[in-house]
Amino acid sequence: MFYGENSNCLFLDVQTDQIIRVTMKILLTFIGNNDCYIDEKPGAILSILKEIEFDKMYILYNNEKYLKPASDILRYCRKNHPQLEVFYQEALTENPI
């Protein structure tokens, strides 16, 4: 799991030609076996969301068996963390550890 405390994005305000710096908290994480049972036992992803507020979260998965749990986490976040933008993406690797 990785998160950036000070992930900066720069935007140009076209009306004033001023550069605006926006700071975001971003969580980048692989989904794991313990994240698959959100109703029974919250895994690492839901546990960190209870402790730290993020602007964006990217869930990476390396096997199709994680698609449903990733979708479940997305639905959970839409209900419980509506300000959080959640994305999930396949990231093929033999072992993400």
Distance CA 59, CA 71 (A): 10
Question: Quick check: 30 pLDDT over 60?
Answer: yes
Q: What is the mean pLDDT of residues 35-54?
A: 90
Paired sense of beta strands 2-13 and 18-30, if any: antiparallel
Distance CA 54, CA 47 (A): 13
DSSP state, residue 19: E
**Residue 10 pLDDT grade (very low, low, confident, very high; cuts 50, 70, 90):** low
Query: Would you say the pTM of this structure is higher than 0.85?
Result: no
